[in-house]
Chain A
């Protein structure tokens, strides 16, 4: 096994015990970048020289007894919405030409303090406003979409060009590409990870979180990221915690909600089969299944759009007037159309969110975790814009990809996607687990227990 193939946890153990040096690990990952990045397009920019300097410094520290913790010397990719002082944050957009971040984002600073090594900035669907990331190809099948908007991060982790990565999630943008590329994605509780220095799509829906190869890896990154920062007005003042799950796979007594509504409607049969099979594993580990009805499903898309569309347009107010021609066509028209929503539309969405949160709070009185598909279908071919379901209805691909993600963005609950098999075309399927607000410990325990029933994933071979 090459160092680039190691999970974060395995690489970290090897560095701590000095069986592997950060220089060896980073060189292995950079060689992998040279090998597969031309076909995949996961990165906006690879900062190889910076990575090598950081790796040498990390190696020097380990050799002199200064071990920073489990991210020490571990190579990462950061979605190019995340500021790093002195470097451009392009948002994968021509609008940001000439941009240079003045300071580190909170998450970049925390990861640097933890000793992580930046490999580069990864592609996003322009300004995170889309679900495909057209610059990037799916790690498993190059003619398929990467998913988005954190497509570059997911493909980098899946292909071995980053040991872990960060994404952002406003309507599924961590979970969707993670599921479509066969890796783990965690959208934490709203406010748990500070967003200071991260380009916003929609302030009241945006989250930052890890994309990794294992649930344990995601927990390790979350431990470094979480914690109050008053510069993000939504940041929660919760005590620091170690989110890494214990190895005990026993789920006895845990109540897992299996939705009767919404999450299995218009879902590809192979996806449904894999997810129900995964739920069977959870039951075999001792969990008790409880059927639940998801509340207010008729209003999910309306609430998501009623919040996101006006907020995104507001963020881009200035540049939409000065350089509209620099946006991609799909993003430009959404931003322009957002000007035509009213304050009444926005307030109805806000009030609907209040009702939805209240209804979901009642749901959490009956279950500890909800299990569902992450996305209703596996990665479609690039350029496909609609999906036709067996009952003859047609749905936009982006609408389908957001549909099962939006509830966790609207209500702010944590949600995790874990690989749960593949379809007949060998395309990955994701099991989505949702938890109570600030229920990351339970969520990660369940996810870790599930993944221990399956073989440890390795990076996708070069196609």
Chain B
């Protein structure tokens, strides 16, 4: 998947695929904000996660008596 910026029509297409139809006057603003957010989170692609699991639910102190689900 490309990290290149989305054009306003591409942003509208992606939003539609996600089930969110956007009115035409929303396309540019959403594309601009989405591109900024995507550029910030893209830096995580630098990390080599190897076997690291996601912390979808976690205990701040690690391990412990009962799982957080």
Binding site for B on A (CB under 8 A): 189-191, 204, 233-237, 298-299, 301-303, 305-306, 309, 320-321, 333-334, 336-342, 344-345, 347-355, 357, 361, 411-413, 436-438
Contact = CB atoms under 8 A, between A and B. Distances in A.
B19 A306 contact: no
A341 B68 contact: no
A326 to B, nearest CB: 15
Given A191-B68, A339-B15, A354-B54, A344 B62 contact: no
Contact of A350 (B43, B45, B55, B69): B55
Given A189-B60, A361-B62, A336 B41 contact: no
Contacts of A345: 38, 41, 44
Nearest to A307: B55
B33 A351 contact: no
B52 A354 contact: yes
| 4 tightest Cβ-Cβ pairs between the two chains A and B | A412-B60, A350-B54, A437-B61, A337-B34
B34 A340 contact: yes
A340 B15 contact: yes
Given A305-B37, A340-B15, A355 B30 contact: no
Contacts of A336: 15, 20, 22, 26, 30, 33-34
Interface residues of B, number: 40
A438 B60 contact: yes
Contacts of B44: 299, 302-303, 306, 345, 348-349, 352
Contacts of B60: 189-191, 236, 357, 411-413, 437-438
Contact of A354 (B18, B34, B55): B55
Contacts of A412: 58-60
B33 A333 contact: yes
Contact of B41 (A305, A334, A411, A413): A305
B43 to A, nearest CB: 5
A233 B57 contact: yes
Contact of A302 (B11, B14, B29, B41): B41
Most central of B14, B29, B44, B56 by chain A CB within 10 Å: B44
A348 B26 contact: no
